[in-house]
Chains A and B, each alone.
Chain A
């Protein structure tokens, strides 16, 4: 209703209002850009008019265009005009436009301070309201500083409407101007008990957000919040309070105990899912997971609040038909999994159900959960379910996700959960039937890894791979890189390398030399050719044993017939290998024709076992004497690349956790023997470390009838590779195997018990088998485990990290240091700041000394371009520091003076070393061309910590303020007057508010910090003078009234003057 009247009135007044604009845009769909550009022209005209109503309308339209993505920053000043209108209608539009269009770098924001202050104190609460709302969007550090007091006053406004807005916006003010927090805090605390619930909730809101950033300061409020938590019924407030306690409890474990009761009550009683979710999430997840490792707290929290309660509640969420609750339930569950895996694992059924969900994001969450839930007992079952989903899945992305998850799940922690590797190989083979997957490479690397590391499985693996090679035509449909044909790479290599396990090597050899192979990607063909040669050797060996020598010659002929195809390959690798092998075979044939036995010699070509090398093996190779790996070969690169690049090992996938599979205890003697053997081997071959023979007898399944792969020919599924076993059968087999094992164990135990009848009866577990009871059918040869831990290195790293962390706690510090110049007894004072970017165990104090040949400057301006920087290095760590090098990245304007003959990027050696706790000073000369602007130079200090002999680096910034270019120079009042009269000087002024100090202190401060001298002083007015090293005159007239200081200044270089004034302002804002 009200809206209609408003709109009607505006309609009549203007030619084109917002509605017309919107309508126009909708009607000009084809030439929208053109239409809008004419509109913008109109708006520009409207903005030129004096009528504020027309302007406001124009600004309103601009705000709309801004949303459409047009740049309206040019109208910023007009927006300020509309904001300043006394009429609420326009003010509202102005503030809206400002809140949408202004950001921190909008320069006109500076002009708004007084207007906003006026609006904040307006008698009309809606004026105040729009100002606060607008301010919340575009508050800058300057605005926050200038208006903090006004907003603080509003926190005690009579109207709750204003109070609550003021309280909320204080949070933004704190962020921009942290100094305001201390004075405002008592009042903010008061608002927690405001009679108006809106204000109260706003205060809770703000304190909760503050506490999340720095909980320590808010511990004292805990009792108050506790009271609020038990009395409030407002879910919005309760959620915030629980969040707050989530942040506080780690610091005060006793709180946890107190919270248990109200929290449990809430969890049981609330009907609001959002609140329930918050309770569960905060209490169990945020509190129990790092970075809040307060053990005592977690203990007392979950001792009394069993995770089951929480998991049960989550189950309710997951079972809900609402997708959102399901998703959040799974999300929270996956976090609980990290701390309480047991309580989550019992809900496996539910998680598996979620795999059927129609929402892909839910399915992916469930997959994540499954990864952490597998055990030896349920791995096969879970993977079986996943395989079913692989078959059903539509869309390759989800299917690929499933595929990688299956492999992740199976291979995690060095195949910890796999008890039967035949089963795993068949799973991998089944996965090769996926069409259009992009993870062929992943499957291939798994096949290689398993075949190489699990020796017992090789026979089976080779048979499977041979079948794959035989049916290669089924896999080559997808020739894209990383496609499924990648598995042929693994298949060919496994068949070649372990060819002694092949039942019919001749057949495989033929399969590998089919003309169709030439269509495979080059790197696969290369492996084919190489391994064909290995197979050839095996075949020869078997055939030469026979009396009939023609078979062997026929094999050679086959090679000679087929290899030329590869010699013609466009791929160099294939070509090279093929022609090499072709010549070799031709030579062999020649020998064969002379009836020479060659098989032994040919197979000698490929003799010896290739062993996997652990990614860390290189570290075991001793560094030759005289080789310093830490010294730079070339100039160090400016930016260090990521140091820990994971080696892309195709053989061994390095796992983050080394969970040692159970092995029989090895006695000392055996260990020593092995160590000896290893040493010897190392001595013979420094680059390969042979795995020592496995200490455990490998469990080999008896080759019974049921283990022979069942040939399945399923015509309805053409892609199924015939002759491959189904992984499902292993599930059954595994069950049987375990049962047998259990039965045996029982028998043994019975025996034992009989023997131990008199002793304390051993607890007999007749319940379900535990994890430990399941022995793997095959043992993984885990090479990484054979390596002695590089413990010393690790420890060092850890220590360093700790140290760094400790250092980091120290916030950026600005060091000021004062120095007397040595020239003529004049007091030239420094001021420079260092921003330590990466605090390291050295602290550096900087101070700047302008070159002190003050008296020479008049005649010799050359010196006016030099600045001496005096640097004090203090060693704060416990180690001796040496070889310090100081280097600065030169700018066009400022350059570090380096000794003749050194390059522009060379560092300067600091001429001393630093024992712990000692400081010393070094001076560096800089050449500066222009001194009218302050500038920052980036630099680095490198040094060697003696104990660890590591190179360390410290980044810093040198801040050349304009003040540091000024030199205190006395000036007589008549000369000063003449100077001012000359008219050569440009004018500028600055006002300082709220300076509360005696006038002479103020003058002393300017003299001291900014190198001025007082020319004349009359009452609360003084004139001051200084000059720069390049001879600029700087004159100040300082006046004080009440707490306001006004400084009028003149200088022949306006930029320099502006910067000096800014710095003066800075000095006083810090006090």
Chain B
């Protein structure tokens, strides 16, 4: 996978993850172009489109579009599955996720994505394992925060 974008129906970017090194300018250009193209598609249309030399796989969940770019030889259906898994993970973690959850906890959304995908490849196909890893990392963070709250001393 080359990159993943999440954006709202209004075209606002909510999350971006790039697995290929690109400069900011190029990223912005691609984002703008893709958001426009995807939003222009009618609701009944299929989830795939060819764009430059890549294939775009997108799916809409409520007001959010999840959009992935894959290479020519990659499998579109498994990419749809990845998107769906990620949505399920977000749902489990936040408890029926909505767009606002992702806006206000965008770093958490990234952490979950990073536990699920690494370098553009699925690293863990078990939802349970992903959530376990996230919870434990959160717990670690929470303990530190708890200590800090007690002592409130700068590092």
Contact = CB atoms under 8 A, between A and B. Distances in A.
A93 interface: yes
Interface of A is mostly: helix
Contact of A323 (B45, B78, B155): B45
Contact of B154 (A52, A273, A324): A52
Contacts of A165: 118, 123
A239 B80 contact: no
Nearest to B139: A2
B135 interface: yes
A9 B146 contact: yes
Nearest to A12: B149
B124 interface: yes
A137 interface: yes
Contact of B141 (A88, A96, A328): A88
Contact of A89 (B73, B75, B126, B145): B145
Given A71-B24, A96-B111, A359-B44, A137 B73 contact: no
B78 A171 contact: no
Interface in B63-119: 73, 75-78, 80-81, 103-108, 110-111, 114-115, 118-119
A360 B45 contact: yes
Interface stretch (A198-206, A744-752, A986-994): A198-206
Contact of B124 (A5, A100, A164): A164
Given A2-B135, A88-B144, A18 B44 contact: no
Nearest to B6: A67
Nearest to B74: A243
Contact of A18 (B16, B107, B133): B107
Given A92-B111, A198-B126, A359 B46 contact: yes
B23 interface: yes
Nearest to A56: B155
Interface in A1-49: 2-3, 5-6, 9-10, 12-13, 18-19, 22
Contact of B15 (A18, A67, A85, A137): A67
Contacts of A729: none
Nearest to A170: B119
B106 A132 contact: no
A236 B14 CA distance: 28
B150 to A, nearest CB: 10
Contacts of A212: 73
B9 interface: no
Contacts of B36: none
Given A132-B118, A136-B119, A274-B81, A67 B106 contact: yes
A2 B45 contact: no
Interface string A193-237: 000001001100110010010000000000000000000001110
A169 B118 contact: yes
Contacts of B30: none
A278 B145 contact: no
Given A92-B141, A201-B125, A274-B77, A22 B104 contact: yes
B51 interface: no
A283 to B, nearest CB: 13
A606 interface: no
Contacts of B14: 67
A15 to B, nearest CB: 15
A63 interface: yes
A78 to B, nearest CB: 14
A129 B46 contact: no
A69 B28 contact: yes
A99 B120 CA distance: 13
A104 B148 CA distance: 35
A358 B103 CA distance: 34
17 contacts: A2-B138, A2-B139, A13-B148, A18-B106, A18-B107, A53-B148, A60-B107, A67-B14, A132-B118, A136-B19, A277-B76, A281-B75, A323-B47, A326-B46, A328-B48, A360-B42, A361-B49
Q: Which 4 A-B pairs have the closest CB atoms?
A: A274-B77, A323-B46, A327-B46, A136-B119
